[in-house]
Amino acid sequence: MIDLATFDPNSASNPNNNIFGLPINEEDARLVILPVPWEVTVSYNAGTARASDHILKASMQVDLFDRDFPKSWQHGFYLKEVDKKVLIKSDYLRKEAELYIDYISRGEEVSKNQFMCKSLKEINEGGNFLNKWVYEKSKEILSKGKLLGLLGGDHSIPLGYFKALSEQHDDFGILQIDAHCDLRKAYEGFVYSHASIMYNTMEELPQISKLVQIGIRDYSEEEELYIANSNHRIVTYFDRDIKERQFEGQTWRQIADEIVTHLPAKVIISFDVDGMDPKLCPNTGTPVPGGFETDQLFFLFKRIVQSGRQIIGFDLNETGLSEMEWDTNVSARILLKLCNLLAASNPISA
């Protein structure tokens, strides 16, 4: 491996190197990215379980220079290899879930079908397995003094990661970029559904003092009531409301700075790519019209750091696959920004 102090960031990426062409190993990297190849409970399009390998390939075409954080890459970023056993388990349970979702969508009663009862039990056990696996891997990496980000996979993946971070930080918040609230209780019978990640997070982790959701535009009445009854622990910026405020003359900076005021001193960014305009993520699991441009979100992230708040982690999820690799191209650039943010927000002590 080449010492990053002598690495030329202007050179063409070597595909034999790690993420963004960086010649570094896990031991020497300050920030580790854990891929989580899981998409068991997705409700619509699949493919995100294999996104990390495609994002790695796309990252070789991403310039390291970032005007906001020009030297952050020097911390060293490292993407771990995909755990094939987790991927195989996801593939197996995904097939079970597809049959189960098709069955219940026709109004059939699960209790009357022994096979479907068995499938539901296995899928929920799979969710418990995944949460434990992510928790143990996250705790292991964090215990070495590393910064850690997650790369999905679907949006069900970060609960174990949040739990590991909650053992290091007793009060923090989550900024959720998403088209969906993800506040459903056991959606479709799946306790740890991708549509239930924030419900489970808020119910299981009292250390999280605030959940700030932005870009939401596809949600249920049940979720709206859950937000209303959260005693302001959840603050939701619905996409329609953001757009109407802008139509009436407010600037994005005004809205962004208001969003920042709701965040506590320590923040995790939970980034579901369907929070963006679907032209940027057409092959994500559940694309929804509306959403953000990347520049809007990057500006918001910069305002968070400028406010003095500390980014303590991130997860990036729901990247779809296509022959043109457009989705992974966009996600690779988002991943670099998130890595730069996390590194810049946690400077190395002198």
Sign of CA dihedral 300, 302, 308, 313: positive
Domain residue spans in the chain? 4-344
What is the mean pLDDT of the segment spanning 184-188? 95
CATH match for 4-344 among 3.40.250.10, 3.90.1310.10, 3.40.800.10, 3.40.50.920: 3.40.800.10
| C-alpha closest to that of 144 among 168, 166, 125, 160 | 168
**More confident position, 2 or 227:** 227
Structure tokens at 29: 């990297």
pLDDT of residue 2: 60
Which alpha helices (DSSP H) does 143-269 contain, by range?
159-166, 197-204, 221-228, 239-247, 252-261
- Pairwise pLDDT comparison (326 vs 3), residue with the higher score: 326
Cβ burial 154-191 (10 Å sphere, 16+ → b, else e): bbbbbbbbbbbbbeebeebbbbbbbbbbbbbeebbbbb
Sequence-distant (6+) residues with CB within 8 A of 45 are 283, 284, 285, 286, 320
Segment 36-51 shows an average pLDDT of 90
Q: Quick one: residue 248, left, alpha or beta (phi over 0 = left, psi -120 to 50 = alpha)?
A: alpha
Q: How far apart are the first and last CA of the chain?
A: 25
Residue 165 Cα distances to 148, 170, 174, 301, angstroms: 10, 9, 12, 20
pLDDT, one tens digit per residue, over 279-298 is 999 999 899 999 999 999 99
Q: What is the pTM of this model?
A: 0.96
The pLDDT tens digits for 99-153 are: 999 999 999 889 889 999 999 999 999 999 999 999 999 999 999 999 999 999 9
Task: Say if CB 344 and CB 69 are below 8 A apart.
Answer: yes
CA distance 243 to 292: 10
Please give the distance of CA 198 from its chain centroid, rounded to a whole number: 12
The number of C-alpha atoms within 13 Å of 319 and in the hemisphere containing its C-beta is 30
Structure tokens at 110: 């699960």
CB 215 within 8 A of CB 294: no
Q: Sorting pLDDT into bands at 50, 70 and 90, what band is 5?
A: confident
Taking 90 as the threshold, does the pLDDT of residue 3 lie above it?
no
* Cβ atoms of residues 210 and 201 within 8 Å: no
Q: How far lies 90's CA from each of 49, 98, 137, 157, 165, in Å? A: 8, 12, 17, 12, 24
